[in-house]
Chain A
Amino acid sequence: MVGNRYLNALWALTLSTLLPAEDLGEMWGSAKEEAKYYPIVNIPIPPEVPMRTGSFEILPDGRLAVGTRRGDIYFVKGAFDSPPTPDYHLFASGQDEIFGLAWKNGAMTATQFGEVTRISDTDGDGVADRYDTLSNNWGYAEGHEFAFGSKHDPEGNIWVALGLSGSYKSHNLFRGWAVKVTPDGKMIPVCSGLRSPGGVGPNAEGVMFSIESQGPWNGCCSLKHLKQGGFLGHPASYNWYPFVPGMDTPAVEPNTPSRLQVEKKRVKELVPPAVRFPYIKMGRSISGFRLNQTGGKFGPFENQIFLGDYTLSIILRATTEEINGVWQGACYPFREGLASGIMHVEFSPQGQLIAGGFTTNRQWPVRGTEPFALQRIDWTGLMPFEIKEINIAKDGFLINFTKPVDPSIAARTEVYNITTYTHKFSAGYGSPEVDQTTAKVTKAIPSADGLSVNVHLEKIIEGHIHDFDLTTMKSMEGGTLLHTKAYYTVNEIPKN
């Protein structure tokens, strides 16, 4: 039959406005430059292995362990060789989706959707034959009820962040909470208020954090401090306080729409996100993270948090500091152009960053195109010119660089373009950036070694992200910054 060619042609003209293709956001455009310092190395996957990475661990013998969505655990030899010569060994299989792996005392502890399981090989044939359930005492009866587990903390506990039911409600026990599971299988609830968490792990000071996703009560993705007794923002999980001995339901619920800095004064349990990741600019669905403690093998970013983004197939950095008893910090672009959606990252003993993940063909758009991939980011040893870390001061910020800056340029206040904004804290989904201001830089004082600059602001705005753009900064050698942007979340301003 005929008759629609012109109709379709007309649509073709109007469709772009009616129905924009899912726009994942601009690329940073820095991939080519990044590759000079941090090239991406592909770790080949044989065709028989469905390597949809959910989590990583490094074994004492130096092998890489990978837990997958399919519920398998592979031990990979040779993944860190140059070039990689991986040999995949199936250690355990048949589990639920594995989003947490931790090796301790000859056994692998895996966090899967329904439980934390200690998996061991008792007959020494290299294949697991005991699957001991440490705890399955949280509710799991609906879709999207993800469970992400940490490595062991110094007491041997595994911390588990439990996503909401369908990512909106809390219908089943402790959905929206973080709990810890002790080595003898006790489950201790830690804090409420999560929405759809991703990875769980410590910062350099050993304090536990979890990734959180944009959505209701979350204007953008963030890194949240799993504070004992804390409430992390989403009130759907209030209903489980009666099940926690010694913890009372917060006296009030947050108002909507409001601001975090307003509500934290009303809801005393509220712990504001430590680092907020402005949407699209810094990821759309950030995921698993790992602390860089490679002793400098991975370059200048020791003790910093590295994390992936599922949608944009990128790697980011974050730093944290405790101000007035509250954690906060900054995030920085690091590397783009990975092959698949990133679910987790890990550091090899050789100081390489391993990144893995997958795409799904129906659930969520992803920029990377591979159905799954295992990749490695190596440091060439060349020093990139980067904003290394930003710390807050009473009257401004201390910006640290990886290379000495040109003091004549760094002393100019106009080099520091700092805008500020925050998000609505509301029950609605996500938030635009609101309450924009432009910070006035009053002074910029480079240090004697040129590795840092004290930037004085007329005013620091509490509760705002301070968005740094240092496009015109030059290094002593005359180079420009590899990434000119950084984003500092101000929860607290130091008192002195």
Chain B
Amino acid sequence: MTKIVRLITLRTMLYFSVVPVALAQPIIPGLVSSELDPKLKGLVLIEELNCVACHQSAEPFAARSKKAPRLSAVGSRVNPTYLEAFISDPHETKPGTTMPDVLIQLDKEERKQVAKSLTHFLLSLKKNDFSLQPPDAVAAEHGEHLFRSRGCVACHSPRNEAGTELLQESSVPLGALEKKYSVKSLVDFLRHPHSSRPSGRMPDLRLQGNDAERIAHYLLRDTRVPGPLAYKMYRGQVWEGLESAKVEAERAGQVRDFALASLGRVHHQTAVEYQGWLKIPQQGSYTFYLQMNGGSLHVNGKQLVLENPSNRRGPKRMQASTELPAGWRKIELTYFHTGRDPKFSFELEGPQFKRQAIPSSMLSVSEHPIPAFEPLVVDPALAARGRKHFGILGCAKCHDDLRIPSKSGPAFATLDPGKGCLSEAPGKWPRFNLNGKQRQLIAKALPGVEQERLNERQQLEKALVTFNCIACHDRSGLGGIAPERNANFSGTREALGNQGRLPPPLSHVGAKLKPEWIAEVLLRGKRQREYLDASMPQFGEANVGHLVNLFAKVDKLEAVTIPKIANIKESKSAGYEMMGTTGFSCIACHDFNGQKAGGAGALDIVHVTDRLQKNWFHLYMRNPARFHSTVIMPSYWPGGQSIRPNLLKGDTAQQIEALWTYLLDGPRAKKPKGLSRQSAEIRVTDVAEIARGRGTAGYRGIGVGYPEGINLAFDSEEMALRQLWKGDFASVNHGSFRARGGERISFPPGIPFHRLKSMDDNWPYKGKSNYTFPHDHGYQFRGYHLDALRRPTFLYHYGEVTVEDLFEDVPGKDGKAWFKRTFRFETPGAQKPFYFRAASGKKITAQVDREFVIDQLQLRITSDHKGVVREGDPGEVLIPLTLPKGRSTLTLEYRW
């Protein structure tokens, strides 16, 4: 194909894939939607078009102007055909782009030549690996949902089913992405947008898992790549039919033939729909041979095979013949990989065509040839010319990462609003396609804009418009979520209404949140509202780091008189009362330390004091509706009067302060009354939590989560410690529990105490068939009792010895909590010596005879006992015990 034909084809395709737009001015959404001062809007335009790149200023102004994309790796990122078309005519190729047309003064042929040379130059910069991948329609379906729910459509236009952009005028344009990117290059871009666009206007969405791929497959779903066969794979109860609710589409794409192995791993209970075109070499009768559990075959519009699948039998053999004319004939095959010994074979036999599997060469995804992507071979001479153009045309001014010298334009101070780029006339200047309004805005700003020092409010508002923060967050006086985009925001907690769906407003946010928390959210992507589908994207600390202080300086609310607390204990206890179901029942709606609320599932309440300023908390509690017009939270002090006059003498300020004081304990705040037990996860607050049953410590396990954030699992079958871990406690499901958290230390199966016959003797544990173990070793579990912190002391017998076994969680000086374990023995008479097996592991070192390191565990004996190491794989730390008559004690410390 000649280049001209290619260009024409490209344009024709663009014409069909993007609705032609009359409005082709550069689009900066915040400018359209915000109520920013027009003078500042002019400044935003100057910055977003990077005017100061060419028109230098003596003043330190517009320093935060948007840098153009970095181009050194553009050859791997962007399809060269697109690149050339875009350079040649940016406004037609991508209507709404901020890239100016710098070739406007050239005639058609020159333009083509220059664009071509620039393309060769850009591709000469690095080795390029651009190639096209076929889109995955299943991933694209997920991607379509993500494009909407993750917040892409806050800045970019929502699309209808056909892919037509519906809000072009107020959206950052995307253009025909399938002409520009490959799946791979778009995924790379979505993962690291700031490596090519350092100014952060496109934020990093911190996409997890396959989300970047899914969005890329959606945006590139019109990419056409040649190949033998298209397929779509389903999984689940496929024998019920592919439209069953128990069946999910898994993936789609292209495959080289009908061999199952070509699809990679195929799980049991899978169905595959194949679709393609079969090249019939000559007219005649063709026979298709199939072996499969079930499925269907259509060739040239005729159904040849239909066999209902069954998950109860093996594969069947079938065959069908049909008359086929020569040429490309449509073939559709659905195959069910289910039932006993699933097998798939598919063969064709015809005139002069021996029975065999259909080779790739006879298959195509399209009856018309799809051109394959051909990498551009860089012509060094062209590239050298392109390099010159890059400097002369001023490309290098904005794309300054390539460090190519280029002459500057007139100094900023000398600019005349009626001339050059700002005039409508074409000339030797770049054409931005500014519309009248935009010209006016710049004209209005121009006089004195260099010298003008913005106050803090202006700086803040300019940034909120530049980064289009107001596309997601309302801020009074500046703007907010556009009505036509509002419905795109979604969440998982419907009961919260708009608050469960829309990102929080930014009005007064500097007087609401602690600066530390603003920084966490803005610069490190922390979030509290897990139920919002959109999450806070990251714009880069260099770009928005200054907003943290600006918010604090600009946003002011009246100061509340914070009451003095006479008795902190009384105050906390009142806070505790108010929180629970017998008080204000805050936990009816709010999650509490990860423990899900029975009802609405509002924001987790234990982190309130980390995030909020106390002054705002007081203001908000008095009248929540002041800050959210549609807030669900009622006022508990209507008109300043408490609805609980019996607490703290009904003093409103004291009551609100009491809630704050109580919540200052964060996750360790005393567990409120009536906390929901519906959640599968058990969180520990101020007292220990217990979960019994099968799971982490055998079938008769007892899991204990301690307030200091450490946990253990005790096996009441063998009366032995089985596991230690840190962090979250456990998930429960009926009578089972599983350790959560991490940093696990495991202990081997077996009883705690034993009289070894020799040091070679095996340590006994319950196997499958020693049915009466460990009762036959003298053991009997007797339960446990709880202390004031609800920590259990396990009770059991070992022969004549009565054992009380207590673990206490001790806060460490270094912030690392550890366990103190106390055995209290009572015996009716002196006992023959036996061993306590304290730990076991691969690598054991004894510091002294009371201190051992067993893999990650540090064990210390603090009573008057000594340990010995028994070699072996694994080795063991044994503590010989000779119990006297009456009471005696063994104490240990576990650190890890």
Instruction: Specify whether A and B are partners.
Output: yes
| Residues in A lying within 8 Å of B, measured CB to CB | 1-4, 6-8, 10-12, 14-15, 18-19, 46-50, 52, 69-72, 90, 93-97, 112-115, 117-118, 122, 129-133, 136-137, 139-143, 145, 171-173, 185, 243
Q: Do residues B782 and A1 form an inter-chain contact, with CB atoms below 8 A?
A: no
Which residues on the A side are within 8 Å of B597 (C-beta)? Answer: 47-48
B314 to chain A, nearest CB (A): 17
Q: Do residues A94 and B691 form an inter-chain contact, with CB atoms below 8 A?
A: yes
Which of A93, A117, A185 has the most chain B CB atoms closer than 10 A to its own CB? A93
The chain A residue sitting closest to B703, CB to CB, is: A94
Known contacts A129-B786, A130-B783, A136-B717: does B677 contact A71 (CB below 8 Å)? no
CA distance A336 to B239 in the complex (A): 35
A52 to chain B, nearest CB (A): 8
CA distance A368 to B303 in the complex (A): 44
Q: Which of A18, A19, A69, A117 contacts B735 (CB 8 A)?
A: A69
Q: Do residues A48 and B717 form an inter-chain contact, with CB atoms below 8 A?
A: no
CA distance A5 to B310 in the complex (A): 18
CA distance A145 to B781 in the complex (A): 20
Which residues on the B side are within 8 Å of A143 (C-beta)? Answer: 694
10 other A-B residue contacts (CB within 8 Å) besides A48-B676, A70-B732, A140-B717? A4-B243, A48-B597, A97-B693, A113-B694, A114-B692, A114-B716, A130-B783, A130-B785, A133-B795, A136-B716
The chain A residue sitting closest to B598, CB to CB, is: A47
Q: Do residues A3 and B334 form an inter-chain contact, with CB atoms below 8 A?
A: yes
Q: Do residues B699 and A114 form an inter-chain contact, with CB atoms below 8 A?
A: yes
Known contacts A4-B273, A8-B243, A132-B783: does B716 contact A14 (CB below 8 Å)? no
Q: Do residues A7 and B334 form an inter-chain contact, with CB atoms below 8 A?
A: yes
The chain B residue sitting closest to A239, CB to CB, is: B771
The chain B residue sitting closest to A3, CB to CB, is: B332
A41 to chain B, nearest CB (A): 22
Q: Which of A3, A112, A118, A171 contacts B275 (CB 8 A)?
A: A3
Known contacts A4-B273, A129-B785, A132-B783: does B692 contact A71 (CB below 8 Å)? yes
Q: Which of A10, A122, A142, A243 contacts B306 (CB 8 A)?
A: A10
Which residues on the A side are within 8 Å of B678 (C-beta)? Answer: 47-50
Q: Do residues B735 and A97 form an inter-chain contact, with CB atoms below 8 A?
A: yes
Q: Do residues B273 and A3 form an inter-chain contact, with CB atoms below 8 A?
A: yes
Q: Do residues A133 and B783 form an inter-chain contact, with CB atoms below 8 A?
A: yes
Which residues on the A side are within 8 Å of B781 (C-beta)? Answer: 115, 133, 136
Q: Do residues A50 and B783 form an inter-chain contact, with CB atoms below 8 A?
A: no
Q: Would you list 22 pairs from A and B whose C-beta atoms are within 8 A, ordered by A residue?
A: A1-B230, A1-B232, A3-B275, A7-B334, A11-B241, A15-B241, A47-B678, A48-B674, A49-B676, A50-B678, A52-B734, A94-B692, A96-B692, A96-B694, A97-B734, A114-B692, A130-B785, A133-B716, A133-B795, A136-B716, A137-B775, A172-B771
Q: Do residues A114 and B700 form an inter-chain contact, with CB atoms below 8 A?
A: yes
Main secondary structure of the interface of A (DSSP, over half): loop
CA distance A48 to B786 in the complex (A): 24
Q: Do residues B677 and A70 form an inter-chain contact, with CB atoms below 8 A?
A: yes
CA distance A72 to B692 in the complex (A): 11
Segment 194-243 of B: residues with Cβ below 8 Å from A: 230, 232, 239-243
Q: Do residues B772 and A243 form an inter-chain contact, with CB atoms below 8 A?
A: yes
CA distance A12 to B786 in the complex (A): 59
Q: Do residues A72 and B241 form an inter-chain contact, with CB atoms below 8 A?
A: no
Q: Do residues B692 and A1 form an inter-chain contact, with CB atoms below 8 A?
A: no
CA distance A48 to B334 in the complex (A): 48
Q: Do residues B784 and A70 form an inter-chain contact, with CB atoms below 8 A?
A: no
Does B385 belong to the interface (CB within 8 Å)?
Answer: no
Segment 637-681 of B: residues with Cβ below 8 Å from A: 674-678
A143 to chain B, nearest CB (A): 8
B551 to chain A, nearest CB (A): 37
The chain A residue sitting closest to B297, CB to CB, is: A3
Q: Do residues B700 and A136 form an inter-chain contact, with CB atoms below 8 A?
A: yes
CA distance A1 to B296 in the complex (A): 14
CA distance A96 to B737 in the complex (A): 9
Does B298 belong to the interface (CB within 8 Å)?
Answer: yes
Instruction: Give the 9 A-B CB pairs with smallest separation, nearest first.
Output: A47-B598, A94-B690, A48-B676, A97-B735, A48-B598, A133-B783, A96-B693, A96-B735, A114-B700
CA distance A96 to B736 in the complex (A): 7
CA distance A93 to B682 in the complex (A): 12
Q: Do residues B241 and A71 form an inter-chain contact, with CB atoms below 8 A?
A: no
CA distance A130 to B784 in the complex (A): 6
Which of A14, A19, A48, A71 has the most chain B CB atoms closer than 10 A to its own CB? A48
Which residues on the B side are within 8 Å of A145 (C-beta)? Answer: 699
CA distance A136 to B298 in the complex (A): 64
Segment 705-737 of B: residues with Cβ below 8 Å from A: 716-717, 732, 734-735
A215 to chain B, nearest CB (A): 21
